[in-house]
Amino acid sequence: MSAKKLSHAIEPAFARAIWLRAQRLDTSNPFGEGPEATRRAVEHLGYVQIDTINVIERCHHHILYSRIPDYRRAHLTQAQSVDKSVFEYWTHALAYVPTRDLRFFLPAMKAYRAKGGGWFGSVTPAEIKKVIKRIKSDGALSIRDIDDDELVEKDHPWASRKPSKRALQLAFYQGLVTISARQGMLKSYELMERHFGWEQAPKPPSSRQVAEYLLERALTSQGVVGLDSICHLDAPSKPAVRALIENRVRRKLLVPVHLEHVPKAQHWVAPEVLEAVHEPAGLVHILSPFDPLIIQRKRLSAFFGYDHIFEAYVPAAKRQYGYFALPVLVGDRIVAALDLKTDRAAGKLLVQKWTWLEDQSVEVKAAIEDALGRFERFQLGRE
């Protein structure tokens, strides 16, 4: 009998409850308080995306705030630079990742060493040796510390005109250096082994272990998983992950399921998760467009019936929700999209546009206003 015929249909509300539980958006304080809460959150979610847009608080702080009510920006600084329990690397985008998982990124670092410059431009081995030598002798280095570069023409839209910046970026992706500290978007680079204080470097995993890591990370943070959600923007990993899933299905460690209204989209869930779902409380979350719940648009649409549009790069006249619209989650429904902007000089959070997606009661509207007030205080550092 085929896997499709064995698949169990589940209602969207049930699937949402599983996903929200996995994302820890169904309880008010899932990770506790203080700096340790940041480590626990990143470890549970698997990654927290970083982005440069600063119209409101940057998304890595926003994502953590959504799950840690007393979150402070200094907590992430401590996790990265003092406790060293998180580090930066590329998942589907640049992100904070648990240091305990660093070894699963070693194959990607090795691949960067093998394939050369890519979109960093024509970086030569001599240029990388130069910045590594300087870090060895002078300590952690930011691009602002380098003032003797001769600018070059870009050979890729994402490349820098500063050869040393290109070399630092490529050395980062190659795993020769890590980002030891960050002030806004200004990064300081340190030698990998010196930053982490390794006596012995982590052991690279096998390809099967990488696939197992991807599957486990998704099961923990998504609850109900599909190949696309496990391997988001990582199609080459799908065959190995699929083989693992089929093995676990045969061993009854995973159950094939599908959403009632999307029967062709195959998903899987651990059997114990199906038995431990409870209805989400009516909490209000003003979410980042880069939040793990929002970033996979096709999945979001299937589970929530909401098609989020990221319109920062859309001409103003064609925008539906606004330049930087934030979905508003109430319980298990996305009920509104708010285009917000922080006016730091005036000390205000501005609502550029408010789009209701569903009719709401007076009580729900009041709860959203209250959440906006808390969000404003967080934005302006008043919490």
pLDDT at 260: 96
Pick from 14-23, 112-121, 293-302: least confident: 112-121
* Residue whose entry in the numeric block shows the structure tokens 């209000």: 284
Least confident window among 108-122, 281-295, 348-362: 108-122
Per-residue model confidence (pLDDT) at position 89: 98
- How many Cβ atoms are within 10 Å of 89's Cβ, its own excluded? 20
CB 33 within 8 A of CB 70: yes
Q: Stretch 326-340: mean pLDDT, rounded?
A: 98
pLDDT band (50, 70, 90) for residue 159: low
Average pLDDT over residues 158-163: 62
Residues whose CB is less than 8 angstroms from the CB of residue 156 and which lie 6 or more positions away in sequence, other chains included:
119, 120, 121
Task: Give the per-residue pLDDT at 1.
Answer: 36
What pLDDT was estimated at residue 365? 96
For 239, half-sphere exposure in the C-beta direction (CA atoms, 13 angstrom radius) is 2
Half-sphere exposure of residue 62: CA atoms within 13 angstroms, side-chain side: 29
Which amino acid, residue 204? P
Q: Identify which has the larger pLDDT, 200 or 5.
A: 200
pTM, entire model: 0.94
What is the pLDDT, as a whole number, of residue 333? 97
pLDDT at 280: 78
pLDDT in tens, 285-324: 999 999 999 999 999 999 999 999 999 999 999 999 999 9
Say if residues 79 and 39 touch (Cβ distance below 8 Å).
yes
**Residue 141 pLDDT greater than 90, yes or no:** yes
Question: In the structure, what pLDDT confidence band is assigned to residue 120 with cuts at 50, 70 and 90?
Answer: low
284: tokens are 């209000």
Percentage of the chain beyond pLDDT 90 is: 85
> 370 versus 5: which is more confidently predicted?
370
Q: How many helices (H) and strands (E) does the chain have?
A: 15, 13
How far, in Å, CA of 29 to CA of 45, rounded? Answer: 15
Q: How confident is the model at residue 153 (pLDDT cuts 50, 70, 90)?
A: low
Least confident of 35-39, 71-75, 122-126, 343-347: 122-126
pLDDT digits (tens, 9 = 90+) for 187-196: 999 999 999 9
Residue 368 predicted with pLDDT over 50: yes
pLDDT in tens, 179-220: 999 998 899 999 999 999 998 999 999 999 999 999 999 999
| Per-residue pLDDT, 383 | 59
Q: Whole-number mean pLDDT of the chain?
A: 93
Q: Does residue 262 have a pLDDT over 80?
A: yes
Residue 256 pLDDT greater than 70, yes or no: yes
Quote the percentage of the chain above a pLDDT of 70: 93
Nearest Cα residue to 289 out of 273, 265, 313: 313
| Per-residue confidence band for 331, with pLDDT thresholds at 50, 70 and 90 | very high
**Listed residue (164, 143, 144, 162) closest to 153, CA to CA:** 162
Encoded tokens for 2: 């085929």
The confidence score (pLDDT) of residue 275 equals 87
